[in-house]
Amino acid sequence: MLRKPPWIKLRLPSSGEYSRVRAILRKYKLNTVCEDSLCPNLAECWGSGTFTLMILGRICTRACKFCAIKTGNPGGVVDRDEPRRVAEAVKELGMGYVVITSVTRDDLPDGGASIYAETIRRIKSSTPNVKVEVLIPDLNNDADALSQIVREKPDVIG
């Protein structure tokens, strides 16, 4: 039988860190782009405590051909408690750097900017030394929506 090269083999999660990350994400009912985009590196990344949180739900209003995120119309539904849960998880995980992205929410007047702003505010309030990177959608080119996020002073905006 022909052996597969090592780079094509999937390593099963074996570290305690993977289990810890998974348990805390489940406890706070948080989504990651890692899971929802079906990333093949999830076990390796979570095993080293690395992941990207995905806020504003699991349904994207766009249908990019390259993306595995579910698409549809969330109908303006927003989980207003999500920013608090994100901040608590970041604190519990002892993170020094957190990356947050989201689905695109064209169904919201501000594209979700207010939830980004509240999430950043809560994280910086509960864990002041953490660096926050946000990977934001285009917000339909709404400068006021972007300003809401910028005012909260994330360390990196992409």
pLDDT tens profile 89-109: 999 999 999 999 999 999 999
* Mean pLDDT, residues 42-49: 85
Tell me the β-bridge partners of 54. 31, 101
**Cβ(104)–Cβ(139) under 8 Å?**
no
Radius of gyration (C-alpha) of the chain in whole angstroms: 17
**Tell me, what's the pLDDT at 91?**
97
CA distance 67 to 96: 28
**Cβ(126)–Cβ(90) under 8 Å?**
yes
CA distance 129 to 63: 36
**DSSP H stretches of helix in the chain:** 16-27, 33-36, 42-47, 82-93, 113-126, 143-151
- pLDDT higher than 90, residue 23: yes
Could you tell me which residue, 12 or 75, shows the higher pLDDT? Answer: 75
DSSP for 54-70? EES-SEESS--TT--SE
CA distance 68 to 61: 13
